[in-house]
Amino acid sequence: VAALNAILRTEGGEDSLLHVDAVSNGYSEMRFSAWGADYLSLASHKIGGPQGAGALIVKERAPLSPLFDGSQEGGRRAGTHNVMGIAGFGAAAASDINADNTRIASIRKEFEERLMRLNPEITIFGAGELRQSNVSSFAIPGLKAEAALIALDLDGICISSGAACSSGKVTPSHVLAAMGVPESLSRCALRASFGPETNQTELDHFFRSLTKLLERRLQLAGAA
């Protein structure tokens, strides 16, 4: 983001404005001050707070106009505050998020190590690169995402084939395409998310279910 900001200032001048949508990130992993963004959006539920609350960080002297006329927050907001949501957001922000992120990162590490032990042909997208600690995107060659999602769901496993904002889309991920991933593999892409409540029992249940699914595929291939 800092590099993009530098390009923006060079090409667009000092009057250029940068907004960063940081809603999907666990924000303790970021260093806002190093980015130089003028606006930055955050969400409560991404750090364990209640849904329906968020924050907009605005750099001093950056212009800010309300979408609706109102008297709250110096005329910047219309309507009554979501007091319970704001209080919950504050409590979540005051918690030790760094400790949670460290634990979540260790869970993802174990998850991906177990994936590779189960099937070395599995591809983990972004492996070895700087990534968010709470998400693992992977693909099992030859196993379409739709088939995997249905089978795992029947076993009580909730994972996805992409981000929530791509829900309902049947086309391969444009992000994976930009990364040079072949369409045949991107159609197998799955996405697992982890949180502070994720535990060893859940990991074990997932791998029992996935092992059963892969064994069934081998049996069907043998019968064919």
Which residues does the annotation mark as catalytic? 165
The amino acid that residue 117 corresponds to is R
Burial 37-47 (b: 16+ CB within 10 A, else e): bbbbebbbbbb
For residue 141, give the 3-state DSSP assignment: coil
Whether 118 and 179 have beta carbons less than 8 Å apart is answered as no
Task: List the end-to-end C-alpha distance of the chain, in Å, as a whole number.
Answer: 51
- Structure-derived torsion over alpha carbons of residues 93, 18, 194, 55, reported in degrees to the nearest 10: 30
Cα 212 to Cα 18, 23, 159, 208, distances in angstroms: 48, 36, 16, 6
For residue 189, what are the β-bridge partners?
139
Cα 115 to Cα 59, 121, 138, 161, 220, distances in angstroms: 43, 9, 9, 16, 21
